[in-house]
Amino acid sequence: MLEKTEHMIMLKDFYGPLLTLKQQELISLYYEDDWSLSEIAENRGTSRQAVYDVLKRAETALQEYEERLGLVDKFVLTRRGLEEANTLLKKTGCLGQKEIEKAIEILQGIMESV
């Protein structure tokens, strides 16, 4: 469940402004603040089912944006590449030509994909 939560938060970070204000608020309460559907419904003066419906529409919209634009996937790949290059370059001791060339290759791949 944690993976889904992290994924939804990341999707909201990238595509949240494309949602309605109500969807943004409910996604934040549910995924970021860890409120239950019942707590949200009680706080908003609505039914649990209404909250569920809004959340499901928002989740679907966020996933569709990612399918079309792929910004989160690109971000994750870029971050992994930068972390790998950083690790190679931070090695203490004798940094060999092989490690330097690998780090350069990673960085060039990232620059080409941006």
Per-residue pLDDT tens digits for 29-65: 999 999 999 999 999 999 999 999 999 999 999 999 9
Find, among 58, 45, 76, the residue nearest to 19 by Cα.
Answer: 58
Give the dihedral sign, CA 84/87/91/97. positive
What is the secondary structure of 59-108 as a DSSP string? Answer: HHHHHHHHHHH-HHHHHHHHHHHHHHHHHHHH--S---HHHHHHHHHHHH
Tokens encoding 89: 């370059």
Bigger pLDDT: 15 vs 107: 15
Question: What pTM, to 2 d.p., does this model score?
Answer: 0.78
Model pLDDT, residue 67: 97
